[in-house]
Structure 1
Amino acid sequence: MKKIYINISLLLSLLFVLNSCEEEDYDIGEITTPTNLTVETEVLGVTEEMPDGDGSGAVTFNASADNAITYKFIYGDGFEEVSYDGTTTHNFNENGVNDYTVTVIASGTGGVSSNLTTTVTVFSDFSDPETKQLLTGGSSKTWYVAAAQPAHLGVGPASGGAPDLFTPVYYAAAPFEKAGADVSSCLYEGELTFSLEGEEIIYNQNNMGSTFFNASYGADFGGSGAEDQCLEYDTSGPKAVSLSPATSGIPEDNSTGTVINIAGGGFMSYYFGASSYEVLSIDENTMHVRGVMGNDPSLAWYLKFTTSQGAEEPEEPEEFETEFEELTWSQEFDEPLDTELWNFETGNGENGWGNEEAQYYTEDNAEVVDGNLVITARAEEMNGFDYTSSRITTQDNFEFTYGRVEARAKLPEGAGTWPAIWLLGADIAEVGWPETGEIDIMEHVGNQQNTIHGTLHYPGRSAGNADGDSILVENVSSEFHTYTMEWSSERIVFLVDGVVYHTYQNNPDSPFNKDFFLILNVAMGGTFGGEIAEDFEESSMEIDYIRVYQ
């Protein structure tokens, strides 16, 4: 561990020249200069045999100062970065053992700052000729946001369990979601060109004069800061690119292990404060990347790119033809809830039902009102939990194999709500999860208003790596919509209002060839529901009917 310490005493003189017909008092607030700036550096992978590191070129920096708000690291290799907590890891990519002069600038209120420099010596021995070739096409290649693909933009946790690290579990944009009625958006119009100049990669982004900004950065560039929006921002000019090894811990089956680093604050289409992107997958025509949000390192954003212009009118979906016509079971909710059919599951389960959910399930939050089953989540304390709701199942009472399930429902709203209509394998007690299989006919979270998810969980594809897709549906909390899942030995199809948005090819080795039972619930928060709004009081899922055709 190498530690550099400097105590800086600054004399700050401020001169105000005020010209006015009358004397006025001006209060500009307290200006504080960062002092006692220190920085610790650690070259990763140092051993007795490799005193300058393991060849990754990775160095961790930990800066601290009294009264500092942000820390800017100028690495001396053409790259720089702003850290809010003073901690960062940077990969130096010139092969061999090299010295780099690093400048750290600690900024306080009023724009005043202190700085120091230090030198790091680090060994780098990384190359990925395959990614370089695919990224540049061997000379020059232009990429576009894959607007027609689901999850072309998404967000998930930056760290945690491995499945969460390569899937946008919090939010995934539906095709063309960020476009207007004319299927145009600055997110979809930009061109990203990577070119080879000798052995060096040069990056040019032509954003046609506008950039799509994350809401938390919009105010810095003249926007409202209330939502993601397109703002005028010039991204022209070449920027150097380096490739470095990934350090996220994502399994090699779900990542190339290579990170694209863009110098000069460059970014890829969507501005969320990142200049480094882990390449999850890349081939001749598609690329999937992941970057950690600059002002919130707990979040990772995902982008998909294609070599063909993304903002094209989507094709009209083919009309769906069902295999199942005979109504064999239904719940119309014209009578009080049949408790001989529906089981109440109460409490908070183990670890919030395995999802860190925040609610306590009761038998009092579900009732039949005016022909609808109403499950209500409320902000109220019970048994140590701040929210209540209900969860009911047909386990041991109604279980079936194959068929078409239709549910007409209106969904709750509010950040943190997480309603679901789903199926679980009847042998859950014997084989466990995900071996039993899970079919989520409809999932929705209030933090992704109007996005509907249809998902399958099974061995190898579960939790954040589940097999699913999403679709944008307007007015899900103010109007009833029909959520459908058709299930046979050949396929499982998910629809909303008759529109197909995900299809799974079933097979004899899958867990989806046996009896399943129904579950209806409204959860709060958790790994998928996300942060709960501070002003949340209550909201309900209303179900008009559930019907099974076989």
Structure 2
Amino acid sequence: MKKLDIIFKTLMSLTIVIFITSCEIDSFAESDEHSFGEIIAPSNVQITANVVGQDADNPNGDGSGEVEFTVTADNAISYKFVNGGAETVKADGKITYTFTSLGVNSYTISAIAMGAGGTTSSQNITVDVLVSYVPPAELIAALTTGTWKMSKDEKGHLGVAAGLNADNSANAANWGAPIPWWWSADPLAKANTAIYDDRYTFSDWDADAGKGKFSFNVGPDGAIFGKEEPMKADLGGDRGATSTGDPNYEYEFYPYENYEVEFTIVPFTARWDWNQDGKYEDTDAGQEIYPGEKIIFSGKGFLGFYVGNQEFFIWERSDTRIRYTTIGFDGNSWHGIINNE
């Protein structure tokens, strides 16, 4: 009996301890409860854009492409901007974007105000922005200094390779092969044609207008050199010239006059699907990437050997030498090298 009494008293003591402990835990739990108050989402989101250089005469800015954005809101803790899917958090609600697409383009920017408890509110703004290309100063300086001619003493001063023709197995991406691997002229290889006495002069560059003057002097022989088909189609029939016939169908001495046209320069990135020469290879895309410039002539302006195009991509350049290609009437890439006298 005494033993049972001891067991009973022990159980009662444990029950009291457990009860007291439970009360203490509940007491702590009650005292630990906090009130966060009402969660209020940001409101009155306002976003403004300052297009740099914008005024009555330049409604889309000064051509730099720079725009300053500012967002404000009530009850906001921080802000996020979204431009083309790219997100940037800015605690002060201010960011500057520099756009790069040439000409006047529209851009939509989203501003997100972030508040307590993960709440958000947003607002969009669309701006029209002018981006003007400014050619490298050293390129303009080189072009407009002296007179240019074919680099006749250099291997490869004329040449041809795969371009954009439909049956091109080399699969050029957008401007043909970077080197003339089908045919590359030896020094003085075309001495029996009209090309070596031609002279090219670039002048009167107007930075505001983005263009200058190009003068083509046909030299003492009064003729130019090029492909029969585009010459007849573009320049006024055969003009009494005799074609070389099969296989090249060229006019070695095509009567022509001196002329002047305008030229402009635009940025251009050439891409080539083969690892042609190991330069500028983009290993991720498996292409060679050649950032550079195009010279574009008005009218029927051209350099070197006439193939019917007025756009010339610069592969390499220095103060006295330019290596270029143009895509011909046949889709091939026609190469040339000019140097400064």
TM above 0.5, yes or no, is no
Greater length-normalized contact order (CA 8 Å, ≥ 6 residues apart): 2
The structure with the larger Rg is 2
More helix by share: 2
Report the TM-score when normalising by structure 2: 0.30
Report the TM-score when normalising by structure 1: 0.19
